[in-house]
Structure 1
Amino acid sequence: MIKGNAVVGQSGGPTSVINSSLAGVMSAVKNTANIETLYGMHFGIEGFMKEDLWDLSAQSDSVIDGLRQTPSSALGSSRHKVQESDFPRILEVFKKFNIRYFFLIGGNDTMDTIHRVEEYCSREGYELYGVGIPKTVDNDLYGTDHTPGFASAARYNALSVQQAGALARDMKKVDQFVVYQTIGRDAGWLAAATVLAKKQEDDAPHLIYCPERVFDADKFIEDAGKCIDKYGWVSVVVSEGLKYADGTPVSASQDADKFGNTEFGAMGGASVGLNVHKLLSNKLGLRGEFQITESLIMSAIDRAIPEDLQRAFDCGVKAVELAAAGTSAVMVTIEREEKEGKVSFQYGTAPLSSVAVRAKSMPEDYINEEGNFVTDKFLDYIKPLIPELPAFTRLEDKFA
């Protein structure tokens, strides 16, 4: 294998475990003979093209260990979509710093970047080994059972819905509903995971809506009304990517301006929760709350799952091992194995060409026929990823 230097970057939205993957790369490089210096892209591929690089090989072991418990993106992130005109400059920087090993931690757009850059270098006769490290709270990457960061974000959402549900249940004489919005433009994995908050029939959530299914406002009001009749309140979880049958985002405002044109929500995706709140208020004449966490779930190291942190680290280590062994144009994957009723996880690879710029939706049989909740098959999928949530105590039915 060729001797040279390596570079690693972080792209897209951060997670509570993305720095653990970075620590995995940094740790593995120390024990890799054919990699001399590891550079870090400061602010992703944009910083790389400006030669804004950090010498990660000079970092102490205490920094590497600390990164494993540090949220957000230590290197700084970027959402720059690589253009054809960028490739000559990228190759120029590779050559200047003798970089032969290329690692990026990110989602499907990030995998597309590695794929295209690696192909360009190959066409130009430059020997480069590019390996992707999966990351996204959305869990929408093809080729992997789940992505590092998803389980911790899912637990954050489930805990939030569980505790907000306890509050809403006890305040139902004041507020009759609560709407909780999750991240998820194209896939409903995070919304679906809030089902883990439910331990008894009347616990939150009562209704879960994912972008894989069309949102029917009339049916929703009917479903919510049934829950209110039965429990005295309703807990609703919605994904930010919900759309109506005609393709209109639920985030679009239902209010009209003075010209009769529909006004779109100024808060973008955050308007989904607001508009579902408006539907319940206007149609049922009830009072309620809405809760929108947005990027909070990406930086909650206090709610991170130890196994999630470890898998993120292992994915970073695996990427270096693969590249050092001559493997290129792949993404590290997490593979599920079930034996004798027990679930374990191993590491594998998927071609970057099959991962790049694609969103993995939830399977049809993970969502019920009504389109307003999840199935037992989804529970079988999610339970091995997230530890049991705490059990709260209720007063016993002992009346004076």
Structure 2
Amino acid sequence: MKKIAIGQAGGPTAVLNESLVGFLDEIDQDVTGVLQGFQGLVEGRFIEMNPSVRNHAKASRSVSGAWLGAGRYALSEADMAQAVGNLKKAGIDTLAFIGGNGTMWTLRALSKMAERMNVDLQVIGIPKTVDNDLAETDHAPGFGSAARYVAHAAYDMSKDLEAMRNFEQVRIIETMGRNVGWLAAASGLLKVHENEGPHLIYLPEQKHDAVKVVASIREAVKEYGFASVVLSEGVKLDARTVTRKIVNGREVLGGISEQLAELAEAELGIVARADILGMNQRSSQLACSNQDRIEAYQAGVKAAELVRKGVSDVMVIFRRAAGSKYVYALDAVDLDQVVAGGERALPDWFQEAPEAYHDWLRPLVGGDEVCVPASALASACHHPKIGGMRRNIEK
């Protein structure tokens, strides 16, 4: 019988624990938990998830954060060897991790290290990211809830500014997203009328000239009496990246909204405020999407199925079928492809046609009109090594 371990890594999401519970529900045997992500793997921090421990984990399925602990930890070659050695010592031959780009890169590296050390290790990646920047998958659990939060926050804050325009004329709202604009672009989802905010949305995928940006803000204030502006933390004005600090070798982006607010005030002689949405984007249960929760759980279940089938070096993915109904299949793709794909940018066609993007996005953010799951369908999508699972949801 396999001895299986599971961990969580990277930044948490509102639905991260659903994937853990889905995996535990589907695995009909004891599982070892890896505490505090890859750092815990290097340090050999394991917990046996007996029925009592599992029940505690399941009770936290709708709680934000990471029940096992997550965080960021860059592994050296020596750390990789130590981690594989710890797994071998504990008799663990299957490792599943829930995470984003960094997690998938690390899983692939651990697999290669195990091969070099002649250690038999099955590796499975379970996707999660609020940025939606994982390659090879239509979307990832965590993104739908974060997008829902951003859409509501941007709309509500724009209405607040509209009411206060005799006191404050410009609001610059900064979202997460790192180097891609999926989250920032979601800010326009609830906008119906042209005069409503956000009036201007800036994405990292595009080049932005500071003079032209300020001129656009001036025009919005002239036209509507106020300007609601949304931009991603990864936006560059005049090709300059704003970095708050570097932690464990990773740039922590943020602060571009403050720079733009100062520039707008200086150039336009108006009152401008910077609002950084912060960690609520990825952790808010108030904005959690029901559909996101369902899919996060299903991703964990699918990973457990892959474990039973002996498939290795893959990540669970979501495939979406074309058409007016939201139809998706759970499948898997090789980790090599995920890593080679890098950060997945918002496609040009979504940048050029926001309504098309909003149509694509609506099922993911959930809501009574789109979030009721229908019965499972036979999948037409298959990884070469496995079968798929499909769901159908009316828009």
**Structure 1 length normalisation: TM-score?**
0.86
Asked if the contact 1:154–1:190 (Cα under 8 Å) also holds between the matched residues in 2, the reply is yes
Separation in 2 of the partners of 1:39 and 1:202?
Answer: 54
Q: Equivalent residue of 1:99, what SS? A: coil
CA contact (8 A) 2:291 2:363 kept: no
Q: Corresponding residue for 1:42?
A: 35
Deviations 1:217-255 (A, max 9, x none): 11111211111111110100011111134x322568xxx
Output aligned runs, 1:354-369, within 5 Å.
354-356=337-339, 358-368=342-352
**1:60 Cα offset (Å):** 5.4
Give the alignment partner of residue 271 of structure 2, picking from 272, 287, 290.
287
Within-5 A mapping of 1:202-217: 202-217=195-210
Matched residue, 1:5: 3
SS of structure 1 residue aligned to 2:189:
helix
Q: Name the CA distance, whole Å, in 1 between partners of 2:100 and 2:55.
A: 28
Which of 179, 182, 186 lines up with 2:172 in the alignment? 179
SS across alignment from 1:4: coil
- Please state how far the C-alpha of 1:303 moved relative to its aligned partner: 1.2
Contact 2:9 2:98 in 1 (8 A): yes
Provide the rounded CA distance (Å) in 2 between the counterparts of 1:282 and 1:389: 45
The superposition leaves residues 269-297 of structure 1 with CA deviations (integer Å, 9 ceiling, x where unpaired) of 33111011112111111012221122121
Structure 1 gaps of 5+ residues are 253-266, 369-373, 391-400
The question of whether the paired residues in 1 share the 8 Å contact of 2:57 and 2:67 is answered with no
Match of 1:312 in 2: 296
Equivalent residue letter for 1:28: E
Letter aligned with residue 155 of structure 1: R
- How much does 1:140 deviate? 0.1
Q: Distance in 2 between matches of 1:387 and 1:310?
A: 10
The aligned residue for residue 70 of structure 1 is 63
CA distance in 2 between counterparts of 1:301 and 1:57 reads 28
Q: After the TM superposition, which parts of structure 1 deviate over 4 Å for at least 4 consecutive aligned residues?
A: none
Partner AA of 1:316 in structure 2: G
| Mean Cα deviation higher: 327-336 or 55-64 | 55-64
Structure 1 residue 343 and structure 2 residue 326: aligned? yes
In 1, the alpha carbon distance for the partners of 2:127 and 2:34 equals: 17
Q: Post-superposition shift, 1:110?
A: 0.3
Unpaired runs of 5+ residues, structure 2, are 245-250, 370-395
CA shift, 1:324, in A, is: 1.3
Greater mean alpha carbon deviation, residues 276-285 or residues 59-68: 59-68
Residue in 1 aligned with 2:391?
Answer: none
1:355 alignment partner AA? V
Report the alpha carbon displacement of residue 69 of structure 1 after superposing the two structures with TM: 0.7
Between the aligned partners of 1:196 and 1:59, the Cα distance in structure 2 is 43
User: In 2, Cα distance between the equivalents of 1:389 and 1:309?
Assistant: 14
* CA RMSD in angstroms, aligned pairs only: 2.0
What's the counterpart of residue 380 of structure 1? 359
Q: Among residues 311, 314, 323, which one is paired with 2:307 in the alignment?
A: 323
Aligned residue type for 1:97: A
| Number of matched pairs | 362
SS in 2 for 1:12: coil
Q: Which amino acid aligns with 2:335?
A: L
Matched-pair contact (CA < 8 Å) for 2:144–2:366: no
Does 1:353 find its partner at 2:346? no
Residue 37 of structure 1: CA displacement?
A: 2.6
Percentage identity across aligned positions?
A: 31
Residues 16 and 173 of structure 1, relative CA distance in 2, 3 Å threshold = same
Q: Distance in 1 between matches of 2:54 and 2:252?
A: 42
Question: After the TM superposition, which residues 1-400 of structure 1 pair with which residues of structure 2 at under 5 Å, given as runs?
Answer: 3-29=1-27, 31=28, 36-59=29-52, 62-245=55-238, 247-250=239-242, 269-339=253-323, 341-356=324-339, 358-368=342-352, 375-387=354-366
TM-score, structure 2 as length reference: 0.87
Distance 1:79 1:250, change over 3 A: closer
Separation of aligned partners in 2, 1:144 and 1:204? 31
Question: In the alignment, what sits opposite 2:389?
Answer: none
Q: What letter corresponds to residue 361 of structure 1 in structure 2?
A: A
1:347-366 alpha-carbon deviations (Å, 9 max, x no partner): 01111011127100111122
**Cα contact 1:94–1:100 (8 A) shared by 2:** yes
- Name the stretch that deviates more: 68-77 or 148-157: 68-77
* Cross-structure match for 1:258: none
Q: Counterparts of 1:388 and 1:169 in 2: how far apart (Å)?
A: 26
- From the superposition, tell whether residues 198 and 17 of structure 1 become closer, same or farther in structure 2 (CA, over 3 Å): same
